[in-house]
Amino acid sequence: MKPKDTVLALLVATIWGANFVVIDAGLAEVPPLLFTAMRFVLVCLPAVFLVRPPGIGWKNVVLIGAFSCVGQFSLVYLALHLQMPPGLTSLVLQAQVLLTVVLSTVFLGERPSRKQLLGVGVGAAGLIVVAVGRSAIAPILPLILVLGAALSWSIGNVVTRKAQARSGLSLVVWSGLVVPVPLALLSLLVDGPDAVGAALGHLSLPALASTAFTAYVSSLLGYGLWNTLLARYPVSRVTPFALMVPVAGMLTAWIVQGEVPTVVEGAGGGLLLAGVAIAVLRGRRPSPRSPDGPPPTSSAERDLAPVGRAVEGTLAMIRANS
In a domain, 27, yes or no: yes
In a domain, 320, yes or no: no
Judged by DSSP in three states, 154 sits in helix
Residues 6+ apart with CB under 8 A from 181: 37
- Read off the pTM: 0.84
Residue range of the domain that includes 269 = 3-315
In a domain, 143, yes or no: yes
Say how far apart CA 223 and CA 82 lie, in whole Å.
Answer: 28
108 touches 306 (CB < 8 A) = yes
Assess whether pLDDT exceeds 50 at residue 313: no
Average pLDDT over residues 82-97: 93
pLDDT tens digits, residue range 128-178?
Answer: 999 999 988 889 999 999 999 999 999 998 898 888 877 778 888 999 999
Say how far apart CA 268 and CA 277 lie, in whole Å.
Answer: 14
Task: Give the single-character DSSP code of 66.
Answer: I
The number of folded domains in the chain is: 1
In a domain, 19, yes or no: yes
Average pLDDT over residues 238-264: 90
98 touches 123 (CB < 8 A) = yes
* Per-residue confidence (pLDDT) for residue 236, from 0 to 100: 66
* Per-residue confidence (pLDDT) for residue 226, from 0 to 100: 81
CA neighbor of 184 nearest in space, from 37, 43, 62: 37
pLDDT tens digits, residue range 16-61?
Answer: 999 999 999 999 999 999 999 999 999 999 999 999 999 999 999 9
Residues 6+ apart with CB under 8 A from 22: 210, 213, 214, 218
Task: Give the single-character DSSP code of 111.
Answer: P
In a domain, 322, yes or no: no
Distances (CA, A) of 93 to 96, 135, 223: 6, 17, 18
